[in-house]
Chains A and B, each alone.
Chain A
Amino acid sequence: MLKAQNLGRRFGDAWALRDLDLHVAPGEIQCLLGANGAGKTTTMNLFLGFLEPSCGVALVDGKEVARDPHAARAQLAYVPEQVSLYPTLSGLENLAYFTQLAGKSGSDPQRLEMLLDRVELPRSAVRLRVERYSKGMRQKVGLAIALAKDARALLLDEPLSGLDPHAANEFCALLRKLAGAGVAVLMATHDLFRAREIASRIGIMRSGRLLDNLVNDGISSSELERIYLDRMRDSAVA
């Protein structure tokens, strides 16, 4: 569903991402771990068509993103680290608006409220203006927007940041359900333990390169942490 072939992006002389080969099939959850500047967000932006690749291709459902970003985005839902919403609209109004933009029926408030229930946004907050929301509440609305789109692939950029442990747990459970329903998930995160908990594969990125892409077949938390720290130490030495 999501495929990167020799994908790279350069800003001036510096490569933000290079030689990325990646394939996320329907039903898989691919996590990308790495420090800031590792190239995770650049990867997301290349799949979303917000950046043009300097080399290689990003494909969504076989379609080259750079050639037709609009068609690629139609297949994707995206939850950024900082979910951007209209502050003077309520959570429900934001959800209705973005659902309409995605070409789905936005006029059924019951369905939308059910989606907000599903992401556990407190009922009392549904009709409050978003300017009064906490970061976690915004993340939940962002996820509801992604769910409402019924997309075949989900891109998540640090989605757990700012969520309390209970909400993060619920969030991961929801991701597993989505993957079970055949959605391909690509998630950038700093959270090794959540990654180990939900990912089918865990990629470790450093300085724009994907150094490892581990199959999560029972890897322990401590082993993952050791590999990750080794890789980051190499980075510090380098």
Chain B
Amino acid sequence: MIGAIARKELVVLRRDGRVIALLSLLGALVLLALLTAWTTHVEHEQQVRQAQAEDSAAFERQGNKPSHSAAHFGRMAYKPPAPLAVFDPGVSPYLGQVIWLEAHRQDPAMFRPAEDAPELGRLADLSVAGVLTSLLPLLIFVMGYGAFAAERERGTLRQVMTAGVRQGAVFAGKLLAVAGMGVCVVSVVLTVATAAAVIVGEGHSAVDTIARGTGELIGYAAYACACAGVALLVSAVARTATSALLILLTVWAAGVVVVPRVAASAGQGLHRTPDANTFWSSTSDAIRAARPKRGSDALRDVERQVVSRAIGRELSSDEAMPASLNRAALGQEISEVLGAQVYAETYAALYATYDRQRDTRRVAAILSPTIALSHWSAALAGTDLAAHRHFTLAAEQQRQQLLRRINEDMMVNGAGQGYDYLAAAGFWRTVPDFAYSSPPVSFAVRAARIDLLLLLAWTGLVVAAAWHVARRQTAI
């Protein structure tokens, strides 16, 4: 019975020119977005590879050079593009992909949070995820607005109920058709996008990419079901098909455009991101404040810790500092250790602000599942803020390791030479390159599990509400 109703719905939809036109538009936009993303991704990956090679060669070719100059010369940490960025670039275009690893300072890739890009902004960027997030609800609303309202107006609902069908079965059949169509669209798009991601994701685990694609499919399928639930609910409540369509268009504009935009602004307004000047001046103040006084026990402890690491053995508390150490390098390394602690705290505070902004958006996700989907989608694609932070932490570790190697070499081999010490030409080759491994899918799921739960809750509640209303409606 339910199958017969669903099949009939699909035949009617197939013969509806509006649905075919909208499907064709969505297909064309997805294809265009995917091709654009593919080209950009391939170019980006080539540029990263080339830049990494050039950076590595330049670092190794430094020859005999003052160590501290080399520390300021630094190195670059390039963020490899996530394979599923071909599907959802998330916030990565707004955050930058390169971090300069230099002495004394943990540079950000960029400060400005871009996760609050409104959905139409994402559509203008023409990402596959943006097209799906924005146009899938529209497609489903066009397919579902007449499900009950048009049948009631035409009289066919009465005919159907006279045949002896229960309202519950009618609802289930219609939901199966409308949501099923949405899930089919999502499945096709995500299968193609995941296949593309596996192909372009050289060096990335194909299993991980497929697992991420499956996670995306779960999220977008839930989104399609939620949209179908909304369409059927409105169709069951509205007096006429025209009013159902108008209500659904309003819901679309509010849910896809207005609420995400307002939520992003509210997040930013309630939890302000510091501007660059404020951030750097407060960080400099914190570094100065955190530096222990000359001759203090705290400074002596750090000094002992730094020296122990440099000479490769633990310095006992009553043991005097070895005389054969470059004091300038020791001072530099102490500054690095103390600075790193402050940077860890200030960046943690900055990311905590981003997290609070995200939490505000999550509260708004009660009004629009689009927000929860955007978070989940970017997380699974590895293009959200959590993934970016994972990269920045890895880059910072590399920076600390790089500077420690340079400073320790200077400390141990440059006794009495101060800043005039020249590192050997072969030394640079002993410093390992930055090898970044993006986090596994489990990291993404942990980061966005609340968003998935919100999405599933939305789907469950709206489908239950639609079922409740549809079961109680009359045919006349």
A-side residues, CB < 8 A to B, are: 45, 48, 50-51, 70, 73-74, 76-78, 80, 82-89, 93, 97-98, 100-103, 106, 145, 149
Contacts and interface: CB of A to CB of B under 8 A. Distances in A.
Nearest to B157: A84
B163 A70 contact: no
Nearest to A82: B155
Contacts of B11: 88-89, 93
Given A48-B162, A88-B11, A103-B164, 10 more contacts: A82-B155, A84-B155, A85-B159, A86-B8, A88-B16, A100-B4, A101-B1, A101-B163, A102-B163, A102-B164
B165 interface: yes
Contacts of B475: 50
A20 B162 CA distance: 22
Contacts, number: 65
A203 B4 CA distance: 39
Contacts of B5: 101
A92 B350 CA distance: 67
Interface of B: 1, 4-5, 8, 11-12, 15-16, 154-156, 158-166, 474-476
A100 B166 CA distance: 13
A98 B158 contact: no
A103 B5 CA distance: 12
Contact of B164 (A50, A74, A84): A74
Given A45-B476, A89-B11, A70 B164 contact: yes
A86 B12 contact: yes
Contact of A86 (B1, B156, B161, B165): B156
Sorted nearest first, the 3 A-B pairs with minimum C-beta distance are: A84-B155, A101-B163, A88-B15
Contacts of B156: 84-86
A89 B165 CA distance: 20
A212 to B, nearest CB: 28
B4 A101 contact: yes
A9 B136 CA distance: 46
Contact of B159 (A51, A89, A98, A106): A98
Contacts of A106: 4
Which of A48, A74, A100, A101 has the most chain B CB within a 10 Å cutoff?
Answer: A101
Nearest to B11: A89
A86 B147 CA distance: 12
Nearest to A84: B155
18 contacts: A50-B476, A73-B164, A74-B164, A78-B162, A80-B155, A84-B158, A84-B159, A87-B154, A88-B12, A88-B15, A97-B4, A98-B163, A100-B1, A101-B4, A101-B163, A102-B163, A106-B4, A149-B163
A160 B8 CA distance: 29
Contacts of B474: 50
A10 to B, nearest CB: 16
B164 A97 contact: no
Nearest to A148: B163
A105 to B, nearest CB: 11
